[in-house]
Amino acid sequence: MCGFFAIVFDKENKEMGKILTKAGRRLSYRGYDTSGVVVLDDKGNFDLRKDVGKIDEVANRMNFHELSGKRGIVQLRWATFGYPSPENAQPHADCDELIFGAHNGNVVNTHSLREKLIKEGHKFRGENDGELLVHVVEKYWKREGNMVAAIMKAAHDLEGDYACVLTERYGEKMYAVKKGSSLFLGVGDGFICVSSDLPAILDHTRHILPLEDGEFVEFGPDNFILRDLETGEVIWKEPQHTDMEVKEAEKEGYPHFMIKEIEESPKKAEELLHLLPSHPSYEEAVDLINATEKIYITGAGTSYHAALLGVYYFSKIAKKPLLISFASEFAELHGPVLEDQDLLLVVSQSGETKDVKNVLDYFREHSKGKVIGIVNVLGSTIALKSDLVLPIASDIEISVPATKTFINQVTVFLYLSLLSAKKRMIPSPAGFDILELVPGVVKESIGIAKEKVSEVIDAIKDIKEFYILGYGITYPAALEGSLKVKEVVYVHSEGMYSGEFKHGPLSIVEDGYPVFFITTREDRHMVLSHMNEVKTRRGKIITVAPPDPELERISDIYIPLPTSNYFLIPISATVFFQVLAYNLGVLKGIDPDHPRNISKTITVD
Ligand code: F6R
């Protein structure tokens, strides 16, 4: 997804190009197609350089290192409006190259506004909504004669959620708007900067002001004025000091972040286990959950799958039902029945996923209930907007496919459900000691997966599609395994309930057609029948389960999981599919850290 960083210094900075390139690297984990910078001085000189490609490639090709200036903007763009091309790359200029700007998010009425502006005489160079935004500001700037009024007027025309930064060619200030997407201001000695991402700022200063929706800021190198976007009224807020660490994520000898992050899952799970009992928010969250009748839970992608496993944990351990939906469907499914006393659990690694933020905003509008955010990135919008934040302590996750964060998300749910049962004195089928097993099980699962993966790859490497079936508590693992394969291998795999397979999909099975089964010992009798249904049609059965002679007999390939614990099998099985997807993707020449078309943080609808 797009991200930007902009800075204004009190004097010419010869390192400007390097500073912007470094900030660009900080934004790059989001996944993007184009990179660009604009650098300006106070005499009306500017230098705009942008192209398709990764920040380092473009910076090398276009010599960003030679850029010097007082003001600079860097933007990385993930294509939504307009193909990835130099014209659609950001930053953008207005018709006369008098205003420059970049944005993050989406202006959803781009097509109609663009047509209108073209009729009014505006000259566009590409199709991007960021360019449109600059032209809309230009229109009002020409009318009003100043940026503050122009930005406020433009905000009325621009529909959608975005954050942007703008600057005039003949000026000394910068302007940044927050309307839906995240935006942070950083105040330093002799400079002020803004960014969509906190880490880009933390390289420069620890005095941070997170902007809120509907605010915009005018800033020079020494001072800033924060205003309400609607009324223009000045808002008085001071930046706060933050101790947050920016960790330089390195591959540390691993060929990709994905495998590094899979391998560090046991350690991250262990760190989470140390945090859980001492963190007051967890206790408070469980009290809220226990006191609430109607509890909704939502997320997208991997976070949705973690949430779904959470629903199973809550049902089986705490005897507490949770109502789940994909974030993108929440309003449609649950909107009509929301009530004031409901509770919402939102699960998001990044804390910036637009679909999830939409749910939070929708819930605020339609219920007076509390929101609990289960997030990895603590300064994120979802963390800031939640009443209670439960950190998952996974550290920064760079690779686009989520791996270690899934493990910690589900460990959080295991803990919450155990605590919920304990506080309500519900007899639970598992004790707290199960938590201590998580890091070891994950570690051993990685080991077994690495041992067995080549056998599975030989069997499926030329296959264009397959099924992964789960039953009960292993169903979320089937969904997550299948998502990993789609993301990283570009092969269609479908996760579904093994009990549903006979109601249609079974007809696809022919000689050698691969079907994965994930099962627990407790469910093996039911799953054995489902396996037989495939076996008798000569399908190839690949089983992911604890060692079990009977299951092994019917299977063509067997992945013996290192645990037979009912609640840990979904975690262990998911690790196997993470390792499988990684290895198969790499074998096919795919960069697993940056799969095509997708991004780490989806900040659009
Ligand atoms: C899968 C993946 C995505 C995300 C989804 C939600 O590997 O990375 O499916 O899980 O976009 O993202 P968060 O958790 O940041 O809200």
Do residue 425 and residue 513 come from a single domain? no
Decide if 438 is inside a domain. Answer: no
Q: Which of 140, 139, 82 is nearest to 106 (CA)?
A: 82
Residues 451-471: pLDDT tens digits? Answer: 999 999 999 988 889 999 999
Q: Please give the structure tokens belonging to residue 581.
A: 């997807």
Q: Is residue 437 part of a domain?
A: no
- Average pLDDT score over residue span 512-523: 97
Whether residues 374 and 520 fall in one domain: no
Using a pLDDT cut of 70, give the percent of the chain over it: 98
State the distance from the centre of ligand 1 to the C-alpha of 482, rounded, in angstroms.
14
- For residues 273 and 347, membership in a common domain is answered with yes
Catalytic-residue membership of 95: no
Confirm whether 361 is domain-assigned.
Answer: yes
Q: Which residues pair with 69 in a beta bridge?
A: 13
Tens digits of residue pLDDT in 373-382: 999 987 788 9
Regarding whether 401 and 263 lie in a shared domain, the answer is yes
Let me know whether 260 and 245 are in one domain: no
Judge whether residue 149 has pLDDT over 70: yes
Contact 297/322 with Cβ under 8 angstroms? yes
Task: Choose which residue among 29, 78, 303 to substitute to test ligand 1 binding: the one with the highest number of ligand atoms within 8 A of its C-beta.
Answer: 303
Distance in Å, CA 402 to ligand 1 centroid: 6
* Atom number in ligand 1 closest to CA 355: 16
Name the residue at shortest CA distance from atom 3 of ligand 1. 301
Of 351 and 396, more confident: 351
Residue 81 binned pLDDT confidence (cut-offs 50, 70, 90): confident
Pocket lined around ligand 1, Cβ cut-off 6 Å: 300-303, 348-350, 353, 356, 400-402, 483, 487, 601-602
Number of domains the chain contains: 3
Q: How far is the CA of 77 from the centre of ligand 1 (A)?
A: 18
Q: Which of 205, 233, 250 is at the close of a domain?
A: 250
Number of the ligand 1 atom closest to the C-alpha atom of 405: 14
Residues 158 and 245 in one domain: yes
Look at residue 1 and tell me whether its pLDDT is greater than 80: no
* Same-domain pairing of 488 and 403: no
DSSP line for 538-596: TPEEEEEES--HHHHHH-SEEEE-S---TTTHHHHHHHHHHHHHHHHHHHTT--TTS-T
> How many angstroms separate the alpha carbon of residue 307 from the centre of ligand 1?
12
The whole-number pLDDT of residue 392 equals 94
Q: Could you tell me if 286 and 349 lie in one domain?
A: yes
Domain coverage including residue 401: 254-431
Mean pLDDT along residues 39-43 = 94
The answer as to whether 582 is a domain residue is: yes
pLDDT given at position 401? 96
Query: What's the confidence (pLDDT) of residue 474?
Result: 98
Among 405, 431, 457, the domain boundary falls at 431
- 230 and 370 part of one domain: no
- Closest C-alpha residue for ligand 1 atom 9: 301
Distance 493 CA to ligand 1 centre (A): 18
Domain-embedded: residue 319: yes
Is 436 part of a structural domain of the chain? Answer: no
Clarify whether 600 is annotated catalytic: yes
State the Cα–Cα distance between residues 318 and 292, nearest whole angstrom: 13
- The residue that leads in pLDDT, 599 or 7, is 7
Q: What is the pLDDT of residues 163-179, one digit of tens each?
A: 999 999 999 999 999 99
**Residue that terminates a domain, selected from 397, 431, 465:** 431
CATH of the domain at 535: 3.40.50.10490
pTM for this structure?
0.79
Of the residues 2, 178, 320, 370, which is catalytic? 2
Q: Find the 55 Cα to ligand 1 centroid distance in Å.
A: 23
Q: Are residues 447 and 374 in the same domain?
A: no
Q: Is the dihedral of CA 294, 317, 289, 356 positive or negative?
A: negative
**Would the pLDDT of 215 be above 90?**
yes
Determine the residue of 302, 392, 600 to mutate for testing ligand 1's pocket, defined as the one with the most ligand atoms within 8 A of the Cβ atom: 302
Best residue among 602, 603, 604, 605 to mutate for probing ligand 1, ranked by most atoms within 8 Å of CB: 602
What is the number of the ligand 1 atom nearest to the C-alpha of 403? 7
Average pLDDT value for residue range 544-569: 97
On whether both 519 and 476 belong to a single domain, the answer is yes
Report the pLDDT value the prediction gives residue 398, as an integer from 0 to 100.
Answer: 87
- Residues 299-313, mean pLDDT to the nearest whole number: 98
Distance CA 50, CA 20 (A): 12
Which of 50, 268, 486, 600 is an active site residue? Answer: 600
Residues 172 and 144 in one domain: yes
Residue 27 in domain: yes
Mean pLDDT value of segment 286-315: 98
Dist CA 37 CA 7 (whole Å): 11
Please give the mean pLDDT across all residues of the chain: 94
pLDDT of res. 303 = 98
- Contact predicate 576/518, CB 8 Å: no
Higher pLDDT, 595 or 205: 205
